[in-house]
Amino acid sequence: MGKPMQVSRFWRHFKEKYRLVGSKCKKCGKIHFPPRQVCDECGSREMEEIQLSGRGKVISWTIVRNPPSGFEYYKPYPLALIELEEGPIILAQLTDVDPEEITFGMEVEMVTRKIREFNEDGIILYGYKFRPPIK
């Protein structure tokens, strides 16, 4: 299993992993996640940080049965492409859902969950996953 990321890198990515902070182009309005310094739509460098809602829908998914090192505990687990309300599409693990209940267009919301644990160092890495909304 690989070593955990450095503390400085962890804090640099904190907003993306825990609050779904993206960027919006001031020129054309395109929203990006993760945040970018240059818009891939119009090439503008006039970007502003925005808070994404964390809500979206499943546009595709698969069930991971042979996970990479460090993720064996979760197998099998669903991995999905999520289209956020604001437009960006992200890849994320689904949680709190039976894989048989996943459907195209299913509404989901972001939650913070444990991603993996580095046993030798005792470090636990948290990040975003998605689940069906609690009604």
Domain boundaries, the chain: 7-131
Q: How does 17-54 read in b/e, with b if 16+ C-beta sit within 10 Å? A: beebbbbbbeeeebbbbebeeebeeeeeeebeebebeb
pLDDT at position 17, please? 60
Q: Quote the Cα angle for 67-125-127, to 5°.
A: 85
The DSSP 8-state label assigned to residue 33 in this structure reads S
What are the pLDDT digits (tens) for 36-79? 999 999 999 999 999 999 999 999 999 999 988 777 777 899 99
Give the C-alpha separation, 6 to 128, whole Å: 19
pLDDT at position 43, please? 96
Q: Residue 4: pLDDT above 70?
A: no
Q: Percentage of the chain with pLDDT > 70?
A: 84
The secondary structure element, H or E, covering residue 55 is strand 55-64
Which tokens in the block code for residue 73?
């505990």
Is-above-0.85 flag for pTM? no
